Structure 1
Amino acid sequence: MTSFRILHISDTHLSPRTSHFRHNNDVMAKLLGEADHDLIIHTGDITLDGIRYEEDYTFCQEFFAGTGKDIMFLPGNHDIGDNPRLSEPAAAGGSAINAERIARYERFHGEHWWSTDIHGWRLIGINSLIVGSGEAREAEQYAWLREQLATAGSNHIALFTHQPLYVDEPDPIDLTYWTVDPDGRENLRFLMEDPRLRLIASGHLHQQRSRLFGAVKLEWCPSIAFTTREELVPEMGGRREVGFLEHELHADGSVTTRHVSPASFGNDYLDDCIKEVYPAMGQDT
């Protein structure tokens, strides 16, 4: 039986303006350089504050190039902005997603959605922040996704996204910071209900958690950089520990996931340094 391995990292939050979180990222970079996985995927929040500082992108590009590995990136809210229904616009100093912020991501990382086929699987990466945003390219992503499913044949499907599509089940819920916009998510119903879907792997919440919804594994990748206490991120049943995930995808559609937290990682809490590392962002995580 053919299987393949994915090293899944997320929420590195790197910037040249602070040495916070640098130790864990340096350890992780060495591990990436030595890794023999078939694919490496980063599910966003690459930068500490790329929506405001292009220097964060430049730093991250050089940092990851130093690993010598090809990495498949997706944007996070700290890279391109937050849901405009939850955030102030850029003109008011806020963190709302906009076309300029998306274009900056594209200059450094190219397209903000992608797919690839390997050993009977179609891996799909989406821009979760654009879902429900009203941005011009939102409809384009839906059309692209429909094409990906229409051409996937008998391949199993694994979805990678910065935000989880939902916490426990995909019923409509109130709009929150923690998941994809629930109104926009209804436009993804065709994807969530596709019988070939076997994995939704996400970041964003800085917690590790494994759940099963029907035949779909829901895997939350922890942050490389930091975790949080309940004052910043509410309890959702995850493990508040830094690290990364290793996914093994099998030909029969099953998925095996392992949480890795190297002993040399420091389990830092954003609560202890938020005013220093995010002075312009209050308590955005």
Structure 2
Amino acid sequence: MTAFSMLHLSDTHLSARMGHFQRNNELMLEVLKNSTHDLIVHTGDITLDGIRHEDDFSFCRSFYETLDQHIHFIPGNHDVGDNPRLSRPAAENGSTIDDIRMRRYLDYYGEDRWRVDRERWLVLGINSLLVGSGLSREAEQNAWIAEQLADVEDRHLALFTHQPFFIDDPDPIDLSYWTVDPEGREALRFLMEHPRLRMIASGHLHQERLRSHGQTGLVWCPSIAFTTREKLVPEMGGQRQVGYLEHRFEDDGTVATTVCGHPGFQNSHLDDVIKVVYPFAG
């Protein structure tokens, strides 16, 4: 028996400043308006460059205001900033996460983590950019996660995060742009190895991929906005096609995932416009 259904989108990279990815997002807005899913989840990079341009946030908020739907958002690196060990601080026009950038996101979205209880499932959304950040909110989030897991009991657990916790295997734990900080992740090993965990669903990599590690499905949601070529993002076994996902959560702990698209979507590549849309990219 199906417990509930979910529409999962990610990496919309919206901005009024540049219209490169606007068409796909407008088409996706129509999909959202017609959605009959029980839940809608957005796994981050809502904005094109909200860490530098607050107008991106105000535009994104107004963009979705026409929907008679509730979307559960979590932030991506373009919304709150990157790992401090991989990026320069804001004072150097870098992309490092900091308290100011976090506060800006919270001012617009109210929360960067959430919990949903549905049937025999506990669904958590967390801010993966806090992992390894050293910000006080990281410890707060870790404590919050532990509190949520205290009453899982015999329910199934699904986790939504912007970055994957790992690509294929939790070890070795090398620092990279593609996953959560492996050192910070150690404080969340109790979550990553929880016996009731059935899914880790993420965005960030602009690829669609469905694999598993043990009893846990590793689900990558593609971007609505664009994909990339291998020169920009290395080969990781995913499909480089824009789109979104539908998940059907079953009472027995299984999840059926369908890859979806729209006939009008353009499969554009960031490589072709990166110097225009992200002039400060390293």
- For the aligned pair, the TM-score class normalised by the smaller chain equals over 0.9
For 2:112, the equivalent position in structure 1 comes to: 112
For 1:66, the equivalent position in structure 2 comes to: 66
SS at match of 2:58: helix
Whether the aligned pair in 2 keeps the contact of 1:76 and 1:162 (CA below 8 Å) is: yes
Alignment of 1:38-77 (within 5 A): 38-77=38-77
CA distance in 2, matches of 1:205, 1:260: 17
What is the CA distance between 1:68 and its match in structure 2?
A: 2.2
CA distance in 2, matches of 1:209, 1:119: 26
SS at match of 1:37: coil
Q: TM-score if structure 2 supplies the norm length?
A: 0.98
For 2:121, the equivalent position in structure 1 comes to: 121
| Aligned partner letter, 2:56 | D
Whether the aligned pair in 2 keeps the contact of 1:166 and 1:179 (CA below 8 Å) is: yes
Alignment of 1:1-285 (within 5 A): 1-279=1-279, 281-283=280-282
What is the CA distance between 1:168 and its match in structure 2?
A: 0.2
Whether the aligned pair in 2 keeps the contact of 1:2 and 1:119 (CA below 8 Å) is: no
Whether the aligned pair in 1 keeps the contact of 2:81 and 2:129 (CA below 8 Å) is: yes
What is the CA distance between 1:150 and its match in structure 2?
A: 0.5
What is the CA distance between 1:224 and its match in structure 2?
A: 0.1
Whether the aligned pair in 1 keeps the contact of 2:81 and 2:98 (CA below 8 Å) is: yes
| Aligned partner letter, 2:186 | E
Deviations 1:257-276 (A, max 9, x none): 01112111000000111111
What is the CA distance between 1:5 and its match in structure 2?
A: 0.6
CA distance in 2, matches of 1:174, 1:142: 21
Which blocks of at least 5 consecutive residues in structure 2 are unaligned? none
Q: TM-score if structure 1 supplies the norm length?
A: 0.97
Structure 1 residues 246, 2: closer, same or farther in 2, change over 3 A?
Answer: closer
Whether the aligned pair in 1 keeps the contact of 2:3 and 2:118 (CA below 8 Å) is: no
**Percent identity between the two aligned chains:** 60
Whether the aligned pair in 2 keeps the contact of 1:202 and 1:221 (CA below 8 Å) is: yes
CA distance in 2, matches of 1:154, 1:191: 15
- Deviating beyond 4 angstroms after TM superposition, the runs of 4 or more aligned structure 1 residues are none
Between 226-235 and 166-175, the greater mean CA deviation after superposition: 166-175
Whether the aligned pair in 1 keeps the contact of 2:207 and 2:240 (CA below 8 Å) is: yes
What is the CA distance between 1:2 and its match in structure 2?
A: 4.0
SS at match of 1:137: helix
Which blocks of at least 5 consecutive residues in structure 1 are unaligned? none
Deviations 1:198-238 (A, max 9, x none): 00000000000000110000000000000000111000000
RMSD: 0.8
What is the CA distance between 1:282 and its match in structure 2?
A: 2.3
CA distance in 2, matches of 1:115, 1:282: 33
